[in-house]
Homo-oligomer: A and B are copies of this chain.
Amino acid sequence: MASHLQLHVDTLARSSVFSDLPIETLGRLAIGTSEAAFARGSVVFGRGSASTGIHVVDAGQLKLTIETIQGDEHVVEIVQDGDCFGEAAMLTNRLHLLSAVALSDCKLLHVSRNTLINELEHNHALAQRLIANLSDRLYRRTSDMENILLRKALGRVARFILDELERESTSPSGQIQLPARKGLIASKLNMTQEHFSRTLRTLCARGKIAVNGATIDVVNEEGLRRIAA
């Protein structure tokens, strides 16, 4: 039992929201935390369901999507190790707008609403972490909107590649790995898979990039920048 809790504490400490919080805080949160595995393709929560708490990804990858009744979907975000999701619905006490679906087998931690709300009642450090988390999310969401609404397909893809290039300062300069299947990225960029594929080829034809499966080499960064302006 105690070791169970200790594992949860460790996992929480590795997440972006809860890292660096006092061990006592994590201990109290861990009591209201449960772990669950989700197989590839399973739905963690669906649009319109009530929020029961916040989810933290321990392992695996998930997509957060908005969907129509007819089955159209749009990927809003792809989350993985250390990310958390479902905060907005929990904190506003409203129904989930997004659906969360496992893209690979996942291990998730679930911190219950009550536990978090109670802790938040008197824990100022936690409140500050949450503020940082929410404002960052809001900022990035605004940035996504900017990319989707202001640019045409060619510019959106160019911007996406440049953003990835910046995020992956680790890998060999001038090369990125697509973070998910192309169809999902296309969806996040608000275009069809087919159109994404064609757009990538256009960028190749213009000598800006070279595509090799999920690997993209940026041949002409300055040119990309001009397209993404």
Complex Cα–Cα for A229 and B71 (A): 12
Q: A88 — which chain B residues lie within 8 A by C-beta?
A: 135, 138-139, 142
Interface residues of A (CB under 8 A from B): 66-69, 72, 74, 76, 87-89, 91-92, 94, 97-98, 120, 122, 124, 127-128, 130-132, 134-139, 141-146, 148-151, 190, 229
> A91–B132 contact, CB under 8 A?
yes
> A98–B142 contact, CB under 8 A?
yes
Interface pairs A-B: 10 shortest CB-CB = A91-B135, A127-B127, A134-B134, A88-B138, A66-B146, A88-B139, A74-B149, A124-B124, A138-B138, A88-B135
Q: A142 — which chain B residues lie within 8 A by C-beta?
A: 66, 76, 88, 97-98, 141
Complex Cα–Cα for A190 and B120 (A): 38
- Given the known A-B contacts A91-B132, A127-B127, are A66 and B149 also in contact in the complex, defined by CB atoms under 8 Å? yes
Complex Cα–Cα for A120 and B135 (A): 14
Among residues of B, the one whose C-beta sits closest to the C-beta of A148 is: B149
Complex Cα–Cα for A110 and B211 (A): 48
- Given the known A-B contacts A66-B142, A98-B142, A127-B131, are A190 and B91 also in contact in the complex, defined by CB atoms under 8 Å? no
> A134–B127 contact, CB under 8 A?
no
> B135–A92 contact, CB under 8 A?
yes
> B97–A146 contact, CB under 8 A?
yes
Q: A130 — which chain B residues lie within 8 A by C-beta?
A: 131
Q: A148 — which chain B residues lie within 8 A by C-beta?
A: 149
Shortest distance in angstroms between A171's beta carbon and chain B's nearest beta carbon? Answer: 24
Shortest distance in angstroms between A144's beta carbon and chain B's nearest beta carbon? Answer: 8
Complex Cα–Cα for A177 and B144 (A): 30
Among residues of B, the one whose C-beta sits closest to the C-beta of A136 is: B92
Among residues of B, the one whose C-beta sits closest to the C-beta of A89 is: B139
Shortest distance in angstroms between A122's beta carbon and chain B's nearest beta carbon? Answer: 7
Among residues of B, the one whose C-beta sits closest to the C-beta of A187 is: B149
> B143–A97 contact, CB under 8 A?
yes
